[in-house]
Copies of this chain bind each other. A is one copy, B any other.
Amino acid sequence: MEEIKAFAAEFDPQPFHLDEEAARDTIFKGLAASGWHTAALTMRLLVAGELRPAGGIVGAGFDDFRWPRPVRPGDELHLESEVLEVRPSKSRPSQGLIKVRTTTLNQNNEAVQIQIGNLVVPRRNPGGFEQATAGELQ
């Protein structure tokens, strides 16, 4: 609970993230973590996890990003990730993009965050892959 409040005090100082009493009469009906706290903790779990693209985990953006339910004090989070697509970058031939869906779940296996992100990775053999899939890239 103190972590939730400390993060909120620094980055998202709104009553429902800072104080149990004040949070009761809000849309959250109780103290809830900032969504950005959930996102940051998701990143920490992702960096510690098995998905290790060459060059690190570098996000360019998201096709989808949602918080279907809040994170509460005491919740324990874990991740499920699935690689949806791997493709060369059209604008930067030396790079590729990996599309990954990452779902952040609480201890009841309820999704608290769903993101479909596009990660930037270096390419092993820039050019070669373009030739092989020229039709697709035009």
Contacts and interface: CB of A to CB of B under 8 A. Distances in A.
A55 interface: yes
A58 interface: yes
A134 interface: no
A41 B11 contact: yes
Count of identical protomers in the assembly? 2
A58 B27 contact: yes
Interface of A: 7, 10-16, 26-28, 34-36, 39-41, 43-44, 47, 55-62, 64-67, 95, 120, 122
24 contacts: A10-B40, A11-B40, A11-B41, A11-B43, A11-B44, A12-B40, A12-B43, A13-B47, A14-B56, A14-B57, A15-B56, A26-B56, A27-B55, A27-B56, A27-B58, A27-B95, A28-B58, A36-B36, A36-B39, A36-B43, A60-B66, A62-B62, A62-B64, A65-B65
